[in-house]
Amino acid sequence: MQIFNFGQPLNFMKFKWPALWLSALLVVGSFVSIFSQGINWGLDFTGGTVIEVGLAQGADLSMMRQTLAAAGYPDAVLQLFGTSKEVLIRIPLRADVAQAAVGEAVLQALNSQLAEPVTMRRVEFVGPSVGEELKQDGGLAMLVALLGILLYVALRFEWRLSVGAVVSLAHDVILTLGLFSVLQLEFDLTVLAAILALIGYSINDTIVVFDRLRESFRKLRDATVDDTINHAITSTLNRTVITSLTTVLVLLVLFFMGGALIHGFATALLFGVAIGTYSSVYVASATAEVLGISREDMLPPPPPEAEHTG
């Protein structure tokens, strides 16, 4: 069985301009959303206290809200987490109370006021400085990763391809951030990890295409640049699609079965893998072509490959 079996290479580059324009539009849209609505940063980044409690029966959120307001936490945000028996309570940072003690105080208030005692599932407190640092460290990690890739690809391949790879990676990251901004999904530490993993996944895809591109440039001596790129993308298309499929399969499992804590992670990667697959086909190669890649650029003499014959 084989998904695609083409006699002729597909003409991907025919649509390179529409694709690039679409990507540019999406990137701009993401930026607009990120700067206008912002990102819904999770506890890890904002600081504050999150308390997850379990109840034996379904939770009465309004009752709990009143209890907490009476106990001095009118700004507590309550929501069901996963099931109707689990409640997530968020309490933002405040200057006037001893932050590290909020978790116990809230549990105590709930247990003394409610008819039915709650069980502590988790309490997380993050101080204001920690979250700020995490944003910086996370941003730094992404930049270092992109720079490292820029350098490696430039050394192993060619600078135009290297720029193409990094542009397509930045494209993936920005669009994923854009999605989290537009839908106002919570951006926590696991989502940061997912985006970094996405960089890893997407570069993998891109390099496979580039690798074939280099080979095609050397093999197809009379073909135009467009044709060569089309040839490279077409011959790796099966692999691109199958690997994306298996990855999406496991991500779907994580999305539906991984539990609430891993939801953001799965969402970011599901979206990212789809975008990453598209961008390694279109954005990376098209950018390199627009930058003017040609056959000569790919010919720096490698040691002549010995043909293997029996």
Site for other proteins in 204-243 (CB under 8 A): 204-205, 207-208, 211-212, 215, 235-236, 238-239, 242-243
Nearer to other proteins, 100 or 183 (CB): 100
Cβ at position 235, least distance to other proteins in Å: 7
State the binding string over 251-270 for other proteins (x if CB under 8 A, else -). xxxx--xxx-xx--xx--x-
Question: Binders of other proteins among 149-188, rule CB under 8 A?
Answer: 149, 152-153, 156
Please report, as a single letter, which amino acid is at residue 222: D
86's CB contacts (< 8 A; 6+ apart) are 52, 53, 54, 55, 59, 80, 121
Stretch of residues binding other proteins (CB under 8 A), selected from 17-25, 58-66, 113-121, 283-291: 113-121
Of the pair 93, 182, the CB lying nearest other proteins is at: 93
Q: Are 164 and 207 in contact (CB under 8 A)?
A: no
Binders of other proteins among 81-100, rule CB under 8 A?
A: 100
Coil, strand, or helix at residue 52? strand
Query: Is the Cβ of residue 14 or residue 122 nearer to other proteins in the bound state?
Result: 122
140 binds other proteins (CB under 8 A): yes
**Which residue is listed with tokens 């001893």?**
98
* Contact between residue 109 and residue 28 where contact means Cβ atoms under 8 Å apart: no
User: What is the distance between the alpha carbons of residues 40 and 77, in angstroms, rounded to a whole number?
Assistant: 14
Spatial distance between the Cα atoms of 210 and 88, rounded to a whole number of angstroms = 46
Query: Quick one: 63 or 143, whose CB is closer to other proteins?
Result: 143
In the complex, least distance from residue 173 CB atom to other proteins, rounded to whole angstroms: 12
* Residues in Cβ contact with 46 at an 8 Å cutoff, skipping those fewer than 6 apart: 92, 93, 126, 131
Report the Cα–Cα distance between both ends of the chain, in Å, rounded.
28
Torsion angles phi and psi, residue 83, rounded to 5? -120, 175
Name the E strands within the chain. 40-41, 48-54, 77-81, 83-91, 119-126, 186-187
Give residue for tokens 């994306």.
244
Supply the minimum distance, in Å, between the C-beta of residue 33 and other proteins. Answer: 25
Among 61, 77, 78, 248, binds other proteins (CB under 8 A): 248
Nearer to other proteins, 52 or 289 (CB): 52
The single residue among 79, 119, 224, 294 that binds other proteins, judged by CB under 8 A, is 119
Please tell me whether residue 247 binds other proteins under the rule CB under 8 A: yes
Residue whose tokens read 């490698």: 302
Pairing status of strand 119-126 against strand 48-54:
antiparallel
Binders of other proteins among 120-139, rule CB under 8 A? 120-127, 129-130, 137-138
Considering the complex, what minimum distance in angstroms separates the CB of residue 167 from other proteins? 15
Question: Which C-beta is closer to other proteins: that of 145 or that of 179?
Answer: 145
> What part of residues 35-74 is at the interface with other proteins (CB under 8 A)?
52, 54
304 phi and psi angles, rounded to 5 deg? -55, 130
Q: What residue type is 60 in one-letter code? A: D
Which range of residues in 17-25, 72-80, 117-125, 287-295 is near other proteins by CB under 8 A?
Answer: 117-125
Q: Is 200 in the site for other proteins (CB under 8 A)?
A: yes
Residue 113 interacting with other proteins (CB under 8 A): no
State yes or no: residue 148 binds other proteins (CB under 8 A).
yes
